[in-house]
Chains A and B, each alone.
Chain A
Amino acid sequence: MQVNSPTWGEPDNGAGDRLGDEFGAGVIIRRVEHRGELTLDIPVDRLLDVCGFLRDHEGYDLLSDVTAVDYLGYQGEVAGYWGGGSDGRDINHYSHSGKAAVPEAAGPKRFAVSTTLCKVMTVTDGNHRRLRIRVWLDDNESISTLISVYPSADFHEREAFDLMGITFEGHPNLRRILMPDDWGGHPQRKDYPIGGEPVQFSDEV
């Protein structure tokens, strides 16, 4: 039981096994357990089936979060950031600072979309559980929308599209939500500069 966030409950490997029974062994590419949290990597085309099964048969009735992550440069020797180089503070110039250890690859492709599901009303108190379902995508791939299974994914998916550029097939209203409508680019990607203004007089010696 996680003391820090007890609603994760025990890692729900049983649900993973039952998913495998229902959809075949290939539906779960990988299971990751980190700090008491279970993440199941599944193929992109099985997402709707898996989420439908989890909602109807396993009792995961609340979609908590849909997070898009860009892993470009994750395994670099250094942690890159847009802060400024040794020759002055130019915030649009990529710079470096050391990492303690190079992490192993998080996944096979550049983008990951994680969906966190919870059991709220289908269980009694003390049995709440969470589960994370993750799919991996490349830049030009798209993922089906979860609105038909969990309608609360609406704004989350629009935000993932707006800020990360991930296309959700079947979303009825896939347009920018946080940035202005005519904005170019997807700001939270790792190859998009942080922007802002350089501090005055920082280039002079």
Chain B
Amino acid sequence: MALRPDAPHDRPHTVPPTLTPPSGAVVIPPAQVRRSLRSTDLDQVVMTTSLEKIFKMATANSMWPFGFGLACCAMEMIAMISSARYDVARFGSEVVRATPRQSDLMIVSGRVAHKMAEPIRQLYEQMLEPKYVMAMGACSSTGGMFSNYSILQGVDKIVPVDVYVPGCPPRPEAVVEGLMVLQERIKSGIPSASINQETQS
């Protein structure tokens, strides 16, 4: 917050003299607003915490999704990301990267066919730690309504999943809640599910 160079630093805000209330009116002065923080107010400007908490807060509040839209759920995912109503930007996740190497969160939105399983695994391995996976929708959580030869019955058979969001397709608010649950997990210290994966290249 840049201050004007000639503004007094510690004069509280008052009603300008031109706006005189009519006589007999009860004047309630506005709240005292401090216009600036003085550098000697240490309790106002310094916060003590641990390094892990800072990292977790940073991780949780800046999860960059990997735009991995497979089928119908992808439409709701795009709605969550690019619609003012659901606005995932307020969670720091508006930066949807097209490449896995620059993203944190792989939202598997849609049904996973066996043919697609290998590319999904490849893309997962190309993501950098810490990485998280959200299984969005019923099809990627458990195979959904498609219990047949062609659909993988849950993407957690090939990648470790952190958050499952049910729905067919889940509302964008549900996906946002899934994101918030993931944020809570991260902030509370639960490591990502990729911790159990042995091989990384």
A binds B: yes
B150 at the interface (CB under 8 A from A): yes
B148 at the interface (CB under 8 A from A): yes
| Residues of A with C-beta under 8 A to B148 | 194-196
Smallest Cβ-Cβ distance to B146: which chain A residue: A196
| Residues of B with C-beta under 8 A to A180 | 114-115
Please state if B143 and A197 are interface contacts (CB–CB under 8 Å): yes
With contacts A179-B115, A196-B143, A197-B143 taken as known, whether A187 is within 8 angstroms of B153 at the C-beta atoms is no
In the complex, how many angstroms separate the beta carbon of A194 from the nearest chain B beta carbon? Answer: 5
Smallest Cβ-Cβ distance to A196: which chain B residue: B147
A91 to B150 alpha-carbon distance, docked (Å): 14
A179 to B149 alpha-carbon distance, docked (Å): 10
A196 to B115 alpha-carbon distance, docked (Å): 15
Please state if A195 and B143 are interface contacts (CB–CB under 8 Å): no
A192 at the interface (CB under 8 A from B): yes
Smallest Cβ-Cβ distance to A194: which chain B residue: B148
A91 to B147 alpha-carbon distance, docked (Å): 9
The size class of the interface chain B forms with chain A is 10 to 19
In the complex, how many angstroms separate the beta carbon of A92 from the nearest chain B beta carbon? Answer: 10
Please state if A197 and B115 are interface contacts (CB–CB under 8 Å): no
> A193 touches which one: B114, B115, B149 (CB < 8 A)?
B149
Q: How many CB-defined contacts (below 8 Å) exist between A and B?
A: 26
Please state if B114 and A196 are interface contacts (CB–CB under 8 Å): no
Smallest Cβ-Cβ distance to B117: which chain A residue: A180
| Residues of A with C-beta under 8 A to B114 | 180
| Residues of B with C-beta under 8 A to A195 | 147-150
| Residues of A with C-beta under 8 A to B115 | 179-180
CB proximity to A under 8 Å, residues B114-163: 114-115, 143, 146-151, 153
A194 to B146 alpha-carbon distance, docked (Å): 10
A179 to B148 alpha-carbon distance, docked (Å): 13
In the complex, how many angstroms separate the beta carbon of A91 from the nearest chain B beta carbon? Answer: 7
Q: Annotate A165-205 by CB proximity to B: 1 below 8 A, 0 otherwise.
A: 00000000000000110000001000011111100000000
In the complex, how many angstroms separate the beta carbon of B141 from the nearest chain A beta carbon? Answer: 13
| Residues of A with C-beta under 8 A to B153 | 196-197
Smallest Cβ-Cβ distance to B116: which chain A residue: A180
| Residues of B with C-beta under 8 A to A91 | 147
A195 to B146 alpha-carbon distance, docked (Å): 10
| Residues of A with C-beta under 8 A to B151 | 196
Q: Annotate A87-112 by CB proximity to B: 1 below 8 A, 0 otherwise.
A: 00001000000000000000000000
| Residues of B with C-beta under 8 A to A197 | 143, 147, 153
Q: Annotate B148-192 by CB proximity to A: 1 below 8 A, 0 otherwise.
A: 111101000000000000000000000000000000000000000
In the complex, how many angstroms separate the beta carbon of B151 from the nearest chain A beta carbon? Answer: 8
In the complex, how many angstroms separate the beta carbon of B158 from the nearest chain A beta carbon? Answer: 14
In the complex, how many angstroms separate the beta carbon of B144 from the nearest chain A beta carbon? Answer: 11
Please state if B147 and A179 are interface contacts (CB–CB under 8 Å): no
| Residues of A with C-beta under 8 A to B150 | 179, 187, 195
In the complex, how many angstroms separate the beta carbon of A198 from the nearest chain B beta carbon? Answer: 9
| Residues of A with C-beta under 8 A to B149 | 187, 192-196
Q: List 15 A-B contacts (CB under 8 A).
A: A179-B150, A180-B115, A187-B150, A192-B149, A193-B149, A194-B147, A194-B148, A194-B149, A195-B147, A195-B148, A196-B143, A196-B146, A196-B147, A196-B153, A197-B143
Chain B residues engaging chain A, CB cutoff 8 angstroms: 114-115, 143, 146-151, 153
Those 7 A-B pairs whose CB atoms lie nearest each other, nearest first: A195-B149, A196-B147, A197-B153, A180-B115, A196-B148, A195-B148, A194-B148
